[in-house]
Amino acid sequence: MRTTTRNLVIGTFTIACWVLSGGAVSAHAQAAAPQTSGPNTLAMHIFHDAVVNARAAGARIAGPSPRTPPGNVQYQDALAKLQAGQLLEAQTAMQAALRLNPTSALYHGDLAAIQIGIQAVDDASLELVRARQIQPQNQFYTIALAAVKALRQQWNDASLNLDVAASADSSIIDAEVAEAGVAWSWRARRNMQAMAWAQVATARYPNIAEPWLRLAFMYRQQRDTTKGLLAIERYAQLLPDDRAGQYLHAIFLYDLGRNDSAIVYAAAAAQDSANREQAGVILYNIGARAFQAAQDTAAAARLHQAEKLEMAISALSRAQPIVSPELAPRVALFLGYAQLLTVAALDQQAEQNRACAPAQALDSLLTRASDNLRAGQAIDSARVAPILENTLPQYRIRARALVNTICSARRP
């Protein structure tokens, strides 16, 4: 197969990706990789396509060229050395070509590609700036420059350059550029630009995941729960096991009062240490909300008291091992109160039915309620102290009497 300039540039990017990723990775690391490409991989893909497209666009812009442009011999020598993997020698030859033809955007762009291969990222930026100065209407050089800035994690410059290119020519926006527009603006904390890019990306390329997540976040900031929930549900379809998505999904469900589902998503999100404490806050809020609802004395509300208490205990029990030390006493306090209300219901059930199971459950629940109320006592000592000193001991005497009488002294 005849070797083309495009093939040579692809070889350069293969080497560059290897170097920038730190060389070989273990099979375990590969298995643990996220489902979306990393920022360097995305930037390298965009850089590669931009340089190739810049060459084609540049030829159209420049029009007919001399049969043998100045520096062509050196340029072809650079390409041959590039094909052989001799990147430093290729750089020297390309620089020689530029000395003979300093106004060639093509030479500057291909020199930038070689310099990315040898990790001379700042030098590559300068070459792309020069190429853009020579052909300001060639937006692919601006995109390539944006990608180089992203490789340096200069997210603000990366996103600004991408905005400039897209504003000048919206036809350059393909799936990878749209994804980068969202990701790089987001990392630069340019939230309005990230949202604008996310709207473009989700409309044109609905199977790219990250724009849906960012769009959902921005909609929640705007208190647009309807659009935000649709966005996060679409993200969940694309990446159902992503913990960040599950965390944001839990927040939306909590906002809508869909607490059962919110508990499921918050508990799943808590499996990632990065979300654990925040997921614990959601679970705490659900539990506290359910506990407060269980105290409603209206006749209609009393019909659902047991259900509300069960939800409160479920949410707070899940929150207890994962919340911050600062929030832990408050979680314990609400959990203890919810268990105390359940104690009253179990006591009545055991007395009326003379059944062993409720009596044993009552005895065990009293111990847990006592432990939790003690853990949270400092927050509400005026109420907790008499409960610990009087209420719980009386219940415990009754519970043990019921266990001894009904269960023939069997303990759980």
Q: Which residue has the tokens 């850089």?
A: 47
What tokens were used for 316?
């707070």
Angstrom distance (rounded) from CA 239 to CA 243: 9
pLDDT in tens, 237-263: 999 999 999 999 999 999 999 999 999
Q: How far is CA 373 from CA 27, 78, 363, 392, in A?
A: 49, 76, 16, 10
Q: What is this structure's pTM?
A: 0.77
Between 399 and 179, name the one with better pLDDT: 179
Please report the pLDDT score of residue 231 as a whole number: 97
Average of per-residue pLDDT values in the chain = 85
Contacts of 312 (CB under 8 A, 6+ apart): 287, 288, 290, 291, 294, 334, 335, 338
Distance spanning both ends of the chain, measured CA to CA: 78
CA atoms within 13 A on the CB side of 320: 19
Angstrom distance (rounded) from CA 12 to CA 119: 11
Please report the pLDDT score of residue 356 as a whole number: 77
pLDDT in tens, 25-51: 222 222 222 334 566 899 999 999 999
Please report the pLDDT score of residue 66 as a whole number: 66
Range of lowest pLDDT (16-20, 324-328, 362-366, 390-394): 16-20
Dihedral, 267, 270, 275, 281 alpha carbons, nearest 10: 50
Please report the pLDDT score of residue 14 as a whole number: 34
Contacts of 249 (CB under 8 A, 6+ apart): 232, 233, 235, 236, 265
Confidence bin at 138 (pLDDT 50/70/90): very high
pLDDT in tens, 329-356: 999 999 999 998 888 777 777 677 777 7
Confidence bin at 13 (pLDDT 50/70/90): very low
- The CATH code for residues 1-22+37-153 is 1.25.40.10
Nearest to 142 by CA among 121, 125, 156: 125
What values do phi and psi take at 32, rounded to 5?
Answer: -90, 0
Q: What is the DSSP letter of 35?
A: S
pLDDT higher than 70, residue 19: no
Q: Which contacts of 347-353 are long-range, i.e. CB under 8 A and separated by 24 or more positions?
A: 347/395, 347/398, 347/399, 350/399, 350/402, 350/406, 351/398, 351/402
pLDDT higher than 80, residue 10: no
pLDDT in tens, 259-309: 999 999 999 999 999 999 999 999 999 999 999 988 877 777 677 788 899
Nearest-5° angle of CA 6, CA 10, CA 16?
145
